[in-house]
Amino acid sequence: MAADLSPIDKAKFVAARRAVDYVQSGMKVGLGTGSTAAWMVRCLGEMVREEGLKIVGVPTSARTADLARQVGIEVVSLDEAKWLDVTIDGADEFDGEANLIKGGGGALLLEKIVATASDQMIVIADAAKEVLTLGAFPLPVEVIPFGWQTTKALLEETIESLDVLGHQTTLRMTGDRPFITDEGNYIVDLHLQRIGDARQMALVLNQIPGVVENGLFIDICDVVVVGHGDGRVTVRDVTAGTQEEETMEFVESDNLFRDMGD
Ligand code: 5RP
């Protein structure tokens, strides 16, 4: 089964496998959303079932909650956990300072709340997600449905005054209906191509009434674990200012590769 994985899936898998080394028994762990985070949840599930790891997980989406329960992780709410030791999540883009664009999977609101409520946030990503400047990936902005067209117009007016290359905005759709987040909101994607000042943009967007949250994660991530298709993993600790590279042994586990759903 493992041999059938594409290089990109192998990269995601080895990043996830390496990142779970940060998790120890007794920890409260934020569980991210997306295909890379799903590997991490499966890895943690295997550690719970086969190595006796004792953790509780706070999922950042309904689909991560389902997967976590399925693999044997005890799921609790953030209000029950209150504060977390570590959150491990994917990203759509990361730059050299570990600033991120997230929300490609539509879970940015809970992802930002959970990551911010953690002592440490670890991002897991394949090497293709690294950029010099954020913005090639459309920036997701979660907005409440009430008056969303007005909010979208205000977003357009706001980005006109900011240092970006593109100005198009689109309401995210599922078929012919708006995509609905777990919290019942819409997502407007901003096609900016290049964000000159991501820190400023993150602050300014959240001033618009109707905007719930944006997908820029500035100064939230502490460690980026970058996976490569050949099994190499680079661990960048932004806080410590260190970078290490190692090659993960690609060990196939029947349990881990069974019932891959994401
Ligand atoms: C979901 C996210 C994901 O972490 C991001 O979209 C990356 O997903 P994937 O690991 O599938 O590439 O932010 O809201």
Say whether pLDDT at 236 is over 90: yes
Say which CATH architecture domain 2-129+219-252 belongs to: 3-Layer(aba) Sandwich (3.40)
pTM of whole model > 0.85?
yes
Q: CATH 3.30.70.260 in the chain: give the residue spans.
A: 139-213
Task: Single out the catalytic residue among 46, 93, 111, 142.
Answer: 111
Q: Tell me how far the alpha carbon of residue 37 lies from the centroid of ligand 1, in angstroms.
A: 7
Known catalytic residue: 74?
no
Residue ranges of alpha helices (H) inside 20-133 are 35-51, 62-71, 78-81, 108-116
Q: Is the CB of 109 under 6 A from ligand 1?
A: no
Of ligand 1's listed atoms, the one at least distance from the Cα of 104 is: 6
Q: Tell me how far the alpha carbon of residue 101 lies from the centroid of ligand 1, in angstroms.
A: 9
Which comes out higher in pLDDT, residue 262 or 4? Answer: 4
- What CATH class is the domain 139-213? alpha beta
Look at residue 152 and give its three-state secondary structure: helix
Q: What mean pLDDT is reported for the chain?
A: 95
pLDDT tens digits, 3-41: 688 999 999 999 999 999 999 999 999 999 999 999 999
Say whether pLDDT at 212 is over 90: yes
Q: Tell me how far the alpha carbon of residue 176 lies from the centroid of ligand 1, in angstroms.
A: 23
